[in-house]
A = this chain, B = another copy of it.
C-alpha cells in the first residue's frame, strides 16, 4: 500500500504509449532479439527502430547486450512484464 511515484511511473507509461514500442516490448519478451529482427518483425525503418529502442532503454524497460556487430535487446522490468501479462489475460472489452 505504498504511495505511488506518479512522475516515475508515468514515464513507464509514456514509453508504452506508442503502439510500436508496445509491440516491441511484447516481441522482445518472447524472443529477445537484435535490432534487425525488430526491424523485420515490425516493418519499420532501422533508424526509427533504434530510436524507439533507445526510449525503451532510457525508461528502464529493456537493456542491450552487444554481440559482435549485433545488439541484442532484452526486457528486464518487472512492472512492464506484469503489464503485458495483464494485457494478454484481460479480455479488454
Which residues of A come within 8 Å of B, CB atoms? 1-2, 4-11, 13-14, 16-23, 26, 78-79, 82-84, 86-88, 90-93
Contacts and interface: CB of A to CB of B under 8 A. Distances in A.
B79 A86 contact: yes
* Copies of this chain, count: 2
A2 B88 CA distance: 6
Contacts of A11: 17
A17 B90 CA distance: 20
A30 to B, nearest CB: 11
A22 B2 contact: no
Nearest to A11: B17
The listed residue with most B CB atoms (<10 A of its CB), out of A6, A14, A86, A88, is A6
